[in-house]
Amino acid sequence: MPECPHSVSKIDRNVLGREQERQRSRKPRELAAVARLRPTHSPQPRRPQHGRAGGSAPEAAPGSSMLRQLRSVLPAAALRDPPLPCAFSRPSPMGATAYDVGSSTNIKWHEGGVERASKHRLLGQRGVVLWFTGLSGSGKSTVACTLEHALREGGRFTALLDGDNVRHGLNSNLGFSPQDREENIRRIGEVAKLFSENGVITLVSFISPYRRDRDAVRARLPPGDFVEVFMKVPIELCEERDPKGLYKKARAGQIKGFTGIDAPYEEPPSPELTIQARDGAGAHVPPQAMAQQILTFLHEKGYLTAGSS
Ligand SMILES: Nc1ncnc2c1ncn2[C@@H]1O[C@H](COP(=O)(O)OS(=O)(=O)O)[C@@H](OP(=O)(O)O)[C@H]1O
Ligand SMILES: Nc1ncnc2c1ncn2[C@@H]1O[C@H](COP(=O)(O)OP(=O)(O)O)[C@@H](O)[C@H]1O
């Protein structure tokens, strides 16, 4: 991933939002509460307890001291109800029976996590996947990175998943055959889904050349959670940029199956957003203006408020 121009000074502050306001109104309640938490195995000597002359206090039941401390940290509502039981005391979408899922057998759906809407309220935003797709060199990483910095400036909680980076770890066993690319996109789609379900504005930057693979990710997410951002940059410009010298190598036959040269790129037929390298007057569009276009979309569509979902 290239160094990105994360100067967000040119981005409209009204859209960016509310960090300053948050900083002002925020009381360090969590910090104070966490500071009160003592490790269970305190290295300090115990003080005598009520009515006991000297000696050490009896050990509390395991976990009870931690529970008391948690009570002082958590909002009352979180402790009012009895703790949600583990699986199946509420009806599960799959019933109480075990199912075979893919290659796994005896899988049961586990209910009872903290509700999504409550996480949205906590974060003051909606979780969403912003899926950047486009040729190598089209500016996916640059714009995603610029946008992430802008969102951060506005006090938003984000994650950025970039093709080059994820291929260093989670997907290091995958190459560039159509099957490997499919698995690459499937895995990252699932990771992005987990993030967005937990309220994170998740920026995903992969070539993702096959329509079917992108649509499969979209289909796994609730409506509105998948925002396809098509970097519609002509291959001639990408090749001219060629920051990693890969087009040159592909043209020389040193890389086989390079997207746009001897492997396909299937344009999205109806992406939520299309980002073009030149504006209507033919002027070059800088990454900050592209990031601004996406921010405006997020703002107008309500992704930057908790909403009711
Ligand atoms: N054969 C071939 N085709 C395309 N790209 C190639 C290839 N080999 C290596 N690279 C480099 O890998 C980056 C693309 O990885 P992705 O995970 O985004 O690809 S894909 O979505 O699975 O198609 C891509 O990064 P970006 O330039 O950032 O897109 C390239 O640097
Ligand atoms: N809007 C833009 N205007 C001019 N150059 C750009 C723009 N966006 C990206 N670039 C440049 O194009 C090159 C490729 O961008 P990059 O973000 O690495 O693309 P990708 O992640 O799609 O491969 C980089 O050298 C980057 O600085």
User: Is residue 260 domain-shared with residue 205, that is, in the same domain?
Assistant: yes
pLDDT at 285: 97
- The ligand 2 site (C-beta within 6 Å) comprises 2, 134, 136-142, 205, 241, 243, 285-287, 290
User: Is residue 155 domain-shared with residue 226, that is, in the same domain?
Assistant: yes
pLDDT at 95: 57
Confidence category of residue 178, pLDDT binned at 50, 70, 90: very high
To which residue do tokens 């290659």 refer?
Answer: 103
The strand pair at 99-101 and 104-107 is best described as antiparallel
**AA identity, residue 183:** E
User: Is residue 187 domain-shared with residue 259, that is, in the same domain?
Assistant: yes
pLDDT at 60: 39
**Active site annotation includes 72:** no
Instruction: Determine contact, residues 226/204, Cβ cutoff 8 Å.
Output: no
Annotated catalytic residue, options 138, 208, 270, 308: 208
ipTM of the prediction greater than 0.95, yes or no: yes
User: Is residue 94 domain-shared with residue 196, that is, in the same domain?
Assistant: no
User: Is residue 158 domain-shared with residue 257, that is, in the same domain?
Assistant: yes
Domain end point (choices 113, 134, 158)? 113
Q: What is the mean pLDDT of the chain?
A: 80
**AA identity, residue 285:** V
pLDDT at 110: 78
Surface-to-core class of residue 197, CB atoms within 10 Å of its CB (0-12 exposed, 13-18 middle, 19+ buried): middle
The residue contributing the CA closest to ligand 2 atom 14 is 137
Lowest-confidence region among 2-16, 83-97, 139-153, 228-242? 83-97
Mean pLDDT, residues 169-191 taken together? 97
pLDDT at 212: 98
**Is 85 part of a structural domain of the chain?**
yes
Q: What is the extent of the structural domain holding 90?
A: 80-113
Lowest-confidence region among 54-63, 224-233, 256-265, 277-286? 54-63
What number does the ligand 2 atom closest to the CA of 205 have? 21
**Is 38 part of a structural domain of the chain?**
no
User: Is residue 99 domain-shared with residue 194, that is, in the same domain?
Assistant: no
Decide whether any atom of ligand 1 lies within 6 Å of the 249 Cβ: no
- Gap between the Cα atoms of 200 and 225, Å rounded: 11
- CA dihedral sign of residues 72, 75, 77, 79: negative
- Gap between the Cα atoms of 307 and 116, Å rounded: 11
Mean pLDDT, residues 296-302 taken together? 95
Q: How many domains does the chain have?
A: 2
Domain end point (choices 113, 135, 162)? 113
Instruction: Determine contact, residues 117/309, Cβ cutoff 8 Å.
Output: yes
258 alpha carbon to ligand 1 midpoint, in Å?
A: 8
User: Is residue 143 domain-shared with residue 209, that is, in the same domain?
Assistant: yes
The residue contributing the CA closest to ligand 1 atom 29 is 136
**Is 36 part of a structural domain of the chain?**
no
140 alpha carbon to ligand 2 midpoint, in Å?
A: 7
Surface-to-core class of residue 54, CB atoms within 10 Å of its CB (0-12 exposed, 13-18 middle, 19+ buried): exposed
The residue contributing the CA closest to ligand 2 atom 25 is 243
**Is 138 part of a structural domain of the chain?**
yes
Decide whether any atom of ligand 1 lies within 6 Å of the 258 Cβ: yes
Q: What is the pLDDT of residues 215-271, one digit of tens each?
A: 999 999 999 999 999 999 999 999 999 999 999 999 999 999 999 999 999 999 999
Mean pLDDT, residues 60-66 taken together? 47
pLDDT at 14: 60
CATH of the domain at 227: 3.40.50.300
- With a CB cutoff of 8 Å and minimum separation 6, the contacts of 298 are 128, 201, 304
At residue 38, does pLDDT exceed 80?
A: no
User: Is residue 191 domain-shared with residue 284, that is, in the same domain?
Assistant: yes
At residue 180, does pLDDT exceed 90?
A: yes
**Is 41 part of a structural domain of the chain?**
no
**Is 215 part of a structural domain of the chain?**
yes
